[in-house]
Structure 1
Amino acid sequence: MYQASKDRYDKMVYNRVGKSGLKVPALSLGLWHNFGSVDSFENQKAIIHQAFDLGITYFDLANNYGPEPGSAEENFGRIMAEDMKPYRDEMIIASKAGYYMWPGPYGEWGSRKNIIASANQSLKRMGLDYVDIFYSHRFDPDTPLEETALALDELVHEGKALYIGISNYDGKQTEEITKIFNDLNTPFVIHQPRYNMFDRHIENDLFPVLKKEHKAAVSFSSLAQGLLTDKYLNGIPADSRAHKSTSPFLHEEQVEETIKTVKKLNQVAADRGQSLAEMALTWNLREPEIASVLIGASRPAQLLDNVKALDHLDFSPEELKKIDDILATQGPIK
């Protein structure tokens, strides 16, 4: 039977989520990859155990994570039942609805029908009475924001979610739905955007809104699908995601387009005494609106490497300028 490390809270940094009473670890575990029906269950357990032993208390899921869709929640539910149930009140468990999950007009997007059904399905798959955060996974252009917001608010009133979040909404959409949540007194506290050194589109769009509304963010794709690591410094490994060409988010051409920039960034990281991945995570956390950075793992040892980012969270103005200058030479990534 799993026994959590007694010193699990000694080194992790916990940040307050906006003006709410909720705190999240600076690094959180995303279950988008490596937790599906095609993945080793014993390895999944080992990753969850290692994360929790390191003080990572936030576990991020969505109804469609797999493959097969839904299997990440099912596997996580098994791990909760077998090992993690005694620690439930120490954990922040999040799920989402919005991307395609089942056939027909109600199996995706942000209608009341989809959100309520999705939340009920997710809770059943995970064997939970409630999630700590439930997200609208993407903005629905064909459903009134009021309908989406009211459905999310109802989850709170029914005790199925403690807090509400949104993901992949732009600044204007975020501002509009925030007004609705404010009128409803909904505990909307967090946004989950894509953000990394190669994708800074939210800096002038979303961040000002989050600051004004006193909301926080937990960023995903912080390592740009592996581009901001040392994995591709000496070529494209045969077993890498870029080489397999199975991901719509990463391909060999992107590696080739960014390699010169990545090598320069890697030198800055080395001068700081960090790996490139550690520096990339730290760089995201420099933004005051980002309370946590999502990390993924295919094996427990990767988590041990990732948490080293917390050993050197500070940047000098010279280092930040050097990074900005390097990134300014990088053209658009296709």
Structure 2
Amino acid sequence: MTEDSAEVPGKEHVAPQQLDTPWVPALDRYRAPGAVYRRCGRSGLDLPALSLGLWHNFGDDRPLAVQREILRTAFDLGITHFDLANNYGVPYGSAESNFGHHLAHDFRAHRDELVISTKAGYDMWAGPYGAGGGGRKYLLSSLDQSLARLGLDHVDIFYSHRFDATTPVEETVVALDQAVRSGRALYAGISSYGPEQTREAAVIARELHLPLVVHQPRYSLLDRTVEERLMGTCGDLGLGMAVFSPLAQGLLTEKYLGGEAPQGSRMRQERYLHHDALTPERLGHLRALADVAHSRGQSLAQMSLQWLLRDPRVTTVLVGASSAEQLADSVRALQGAEFSEEELASIDSHSRAAAL
């Protein structure tokens, strides 16, 4: 998962001290709709059923005031897990830097209530040592840079962001182990590894007594590849799953059901979602899925999120948000009625037919 690292012209930077309005989190946040927690595999770590992913909307191309409102809303709703990576934001690293500002201003006193994760694996800085992958020098140097941007001495989870076929898995896992043993991370994770690669990493981690506790794969109604073998592998190994892109970059929302890409959408901008994905056949199945959702009193997005959580091997679903209202709407997925067998059969049929 990478983004354009170019500087954004005309960006109005707001100094952190301008965000100095005192804030007190909701006292009833652990009774809020998002305060639903699941154990991460066979570890001792609990994560909220919905976590906030900062892949989009937290770079220097987005107002700090809007970011602040989203983060405050998340915490007030009971969401305690914030997921980042070294290259998130425009330009690269800006999501971590901006989150560090908000952390220092709003959340410093609540650090022990938060799970903060970051990753390294994709290109990040110039030269061979910043080109990404799973090498020890790149991973540990990147983690040090991430901690500096975040203003932290440790993160809760540090991920290898992708499998690197050019580096031995053992080297990658040993680097994760050093990150934990040095106190720079509490737990380790892997992302976008295949079943065999996952098993190899887990075996090495077990030999090292490394708390490798979570796998982060792509999973949605339109991309069910993980069901073939990876979910079973994670279940066997006792790894939790933190799934990303749960709404297929927006296809599993209502915005495309009219057959057009609205202004400002990722499809209109050709960012991670292309026009050729909206075929007449797929559009028909998406509309059928929306009909199922509406019959349940849900939006297509809410039903899509709830459907992912039907499997206990999914620890948490990473949701993005461009506004506090959108995040609150996503959290309502946790209040949906249980799926009937008929609904599950219909969802299964249409989701497979519409697969990307």
Q: TM-score, normalised by structure 1?
A: 0.97
1:271 maps to what in 2?
Answer: 295
Shift of residue 187, structure 1, vs aligned partner: 0.6
Q: Are 1:23 and 2:43 an aligned pair?
A: no
**Does the 8 Å contact 2:296/2:337 carry over to 1?**
no
1:8 partner amino acid: R
Unpaired stretches in structure 2, ≥5 consecutive residues: 1-21
SS in 2 for 1:236: coil
Shift of residue 327, structure 1, vs aligned partner: 2.4
Task: List 4+ stretches of structure 1 deviating above 2 A.
Answer: 255-258, 327-330
1:124 partner amino acid: A
2:16 maps to what in 1?
Answer: none
1:3 maps to what in 2?
Answer: 24
Q: Are 1:199 and 2:223 an aligned pair?
A: yes
Measure the CA separation in 2 of the matches of 1:311 and 1:328: 25
Q: Are 1:114 and 2:160 an aligned pair?
A: no
Q: Are 1:215 and 2:236 an aligned pair?
A: no
2:331 maps to what in 1?
Answer: 307
1:161 maps to what in 2?
Answer: 185
Of 168-177 and 319-328, the range deviating more from structure 2: 319-328
2:109 maps to what in 1?
Answer: 86
2:210 maps to what in 1?
Answer: 186
Shift of residue 233, structure 1, vs aligned partner: 1.3
2:68 maps to what in 1?
Answer: 45
**Does the 8 Å contact 1:286/1:313 carry over to 2?**
no
**Does the 8 Å contact 2:96/2:150 carry over to 1?**
yes
**Does the 8 Å contact 1:17/1:190 carry over to 2?**
yes
2:13 maps to what in 1?
Answer: none
SS in 1 for 2:90: coil
Matches within 5 A, 1:89-168: 89-107=112-130, 108-168=132-192
1:244 maps to what in 2?
Answer: 269
SS in 2 for 1:106: helix
Indicate which of 71, 76, 82 corresponds to 1:59: 82
Of 81-90 and 310-319, the range deviating more from structure 2: 310-319
SS in 1 for 2:202: helix
SS in 2 for 1:150: helix
Q: TM-score, normalised by structure 2?
A: 0.91
Measure the CA separation in 2 of the matches of 1:3 and 1:23: 24
1:175 maps to what in 2?
Answer: 199
1:90-140 CA-to-partner distances (Å, cap 9, x unmatched) read 000000000010122211111000011000000000000100000000001
1:75 partner amino acid: N
1:249-268 CA-to-partner distances (Å, cap 9, x unmatched) read 20122123521111000000
**Does the 8 Å contact 2:286/2:350 carry over to 1?**
no
2:184 partner amino acid: K
SS in 1 for 2:312: coil
1:244-286 CA-to-partner distances (Å, cap 9, x unmatched) read 22x1x20122123521111000000011111100000001101
Shift of residue 319, structure 1, vs aligned partner: 1.1
Unpaired stretches in structure 1, ≥5 consecutive residues: none
Measure the CA separation in 1 of the matches of 2:203 and 2:341: 36
**Does the 8 Å contact 1:241/1:250 carry over to 2?**
yes
Shift of residue 313, structure 1, vs aligned partner: 5.6
Two-structure CA RMSD over aligned residues (Å) = 1.0
Indicate which of 310, 313, 328 corresponds to 1:286: 310
SS in 1 for 2:254: coil
Shift of residue 287, structure 1, vs aligned partner: 1.4
Measure the CA separation in 2 of the matches of 1:314 and 1:115: 42
Shift of residue 30, structure 1, vs aligned partner: 0.4
Measure the CA separation in 1 of the matches of 2:268 and 2:200: 41
**Does the 8 Å contact 1:282/1:313 carry over to 2?**
no
**Does the 8 Å contact 1:223/1:229 carry over to 2?**
yes
1:7 partner amino acid: D
1:240 partner amino acid: S
**Does the 8 Å contact 1:132/1:163 carry over to 2?**
yes
Shift of residue 288, structure 1, vs aligned partner: 1.5
